[in-house]
Amino acid sequence: MRHGRTNFNDLGLCNDDPRQKVFLTTQGIAQAQSAALALRSTVLDRIIVSPLPRTRQTAEIVNRFHDVPIVTHSDLNDIRSGFDSRPVSDYFKAIADDPLHKRVNEGESLLDHKNRVLNFLEWLKTQRDKALLIVAHEETLRVFIAYFEGGIEDQQLRDIHVGNCEIRHFEFGK
């Protein structure tokens, strides 16, 4: 699932630095509480989050019904845009001529990010958990959707939209 709405979502700002003060808004907390209720009867073995505080904050709200370990995995981090605390619109302008390959301000390209997330999915296959909740970011979940649903070309990744606290269910080998 994606994390709840944040103050940086409201401001239209990029964030990939865990040290920034980016947390769920009142709306984001309500979204996470709704997701927690939707998942309350789901059996979970573990929750995995990115290093960004908004994912842990969302996971902690959901975990009130589960009391399972919450662990961090850096490969789930949002794309390192090179535009931390700057407008998302400026980032999109900066990569417009080659959105798949362009790296700006020592950030990573969309394909760099995709490969990092695919590494996480390969690692995930080696885990023994039967049911996991992964709380991550829209850009990260786009890669999950393309991986599990198939038929999505790299240039179509940006066309996939995942709402705050939207839950998606995936299974390996299905």
Cβ–Cβ < 8 Å for 133, 1: yes
Nearest to 83 by CA among 101, 52, 106: 106
pLDDT at 174: 53
Two structure tokens written together for 49: 């989050």
Residue with tokens 């990029």: 14
Average pLDDT for consecutive 10-residue bins of the chain (174 residues)?
97 94 96 97 96 97 96 96 96 95 95 97 92 96 95 92 96 76
pLDDT at 172: 87
In this structure, the number of other CB atoms found within 10 A of the CB of residue 117 comes to 24
pLDDT at 168: 95
Nearest to 71 by CA among 46, 54, 53, 52: 46
For the chain, which domains are there? 7-159 (3.40.50.1240)
